[in-house]
Chains A and B, each alone.
Chain A
Amino acid sequence: DIQMTQSPSSLSASVGDRVTITCQASQDISNYLNWYQQKPGKAPKLLIYDASNLETGVPSRFSGSGSGTDFTFTISSLQPEDIATYYCQQYDNLPPAITFGQGTRLEIK
């Protein structure tokens, strides 16, 4: 099974800061990598799909990049409403399986 290593596990930043989260796959997953935001008590929300595509309605300050084994999620200018936990997620088809990263808890400094 493919393992996903997400870092950091927690992060404290100031409003307006650029924030970066990384996700590393244990083997090549092409661009089958998605990013989610989860606020307390809520279901996750899709932000980025296929590594770099912004989901409809998601603010442009969110972005994703990478392919193969190394991926990056960026918030260009942190806003108070971005406080949440962020997860990466990969899909493997041999055998079919889905794995989430361990999450990054983002707090305001």
Chain B
Amino acid sequence: QMQLVQSGAEVKKTGSSVKVSCKASGYTFTYRYLHWVRQAPGQALEWMGWITPFNGNTNYAQKFQDRVTITRDRSMSTAYMELSSLRSEDTAMYYCATTTPGVAFDIWGQGTMVTVSS
């Protein structure tokens, strides 16, 4: 079955960077967009951006344009999200998810908790 498995929880210092991985299985990795969505504690879901695994093209939400980089390794069927210049407000659960052609998130990773403190 289609599955996304993410790397484990991270604790980071303010100003540093974090890189979270998302390994896909059960489908052809290059056939579906791979997105990152985050959720701060008690808050709503927030879309960060996507990557087209086939050619590596990316599209980022304006809010994160200057700080986020999404990459992929086709040979490993794995996508990565790196967020730089971390601040306390970046403390959140980070999810990867893949979408149908109609851009509905039908498969989600289990989430990676990132905690940022000074």
Binding site for B on A (CB under 8 A): 1, 32, 34, 36, 38, 43-46, 49-50, 55, 87, 89, 91, 96-103
Contact = CB atoms under 8 A, between A and B. Distances in A.
Contacts of A43: 95, 97, 108-111
User: From DSSP, what is the main secondary structure of chain A's interface residues?
Assistant: strand
A46 B105 contact: yes
B47 A100 contact: yes
Interface residues of B, number: 21
Interface of B: 35, 37, 44-47, 59, 61-62, 95, 97, 100, 102-106, 108-111
**Residue in B102, B104, B109 whose Cβ sees the most chain A Cβ within 10 Å:** B104
Given A89-B104, A98-B61, 11 more contacts: A34-B104, A43-B110, A44-B105, A46-B105, A49-B102, A49-B104, A49-B106, A89-B45, A97-B47, A102-B44, A103-B44
